[in-house]
Structure 1
Amino acid sequence: MNSDQLKGKWNQIKGNVKQKYGIEMNDEEAYSEGKYDEIVGKIQEKTGKAKEDVKKEIDSW
């Protein structure tokens, strides 16, 4: 497991926390950001790519 994969795990955890905060505070923006971070983290973990590369790839969809 390389460092980008570990960072991907961290981004998933961070995303889950943002989502829970968004639900508790009724903050849709925080919830959406959390979902985005979680998706980026999952892709980053599976591919081992840097976060910036994953974000560029998602934005091109």
Structure 2
Amino acid sequence: MNWDRIRGNWKQVAGKAKEQWGKLTDDDLDVVAGRRDQLAGKIQERYGVAKDDAERQLAEWERKASDSWFKKDDKRT
């Protein structure tokens, strides 16, 4: 998945990040605002992991990103 797409749709994707890293607060995700390096830093901070481990987790999460992450909920009919 292209990180630019994740960053551009951060409000939709932030929930997926929160599912993956439950220790991240809504404020953390607001500060990150789709910036990959900021997200890696917050993962390091909240989970006490090394930079390379945070990067590995982030790369794995990014690989899981799919088009369904970017679809808006259109069930309101």
| TM-score interval, smaller chain | 0.3 to 0.5
Question: Which has the larger share of helix?
Answer: 1
Higher RCO, Cα 8 Å, sep 6+: 1
TM-score under structure 2 normalisation? 0.34
TM-score under structure 1 normalisation? 0.42
Work out which of the two has the higher radius of gyration on C-alpha atoms and give 1 or 2: 2
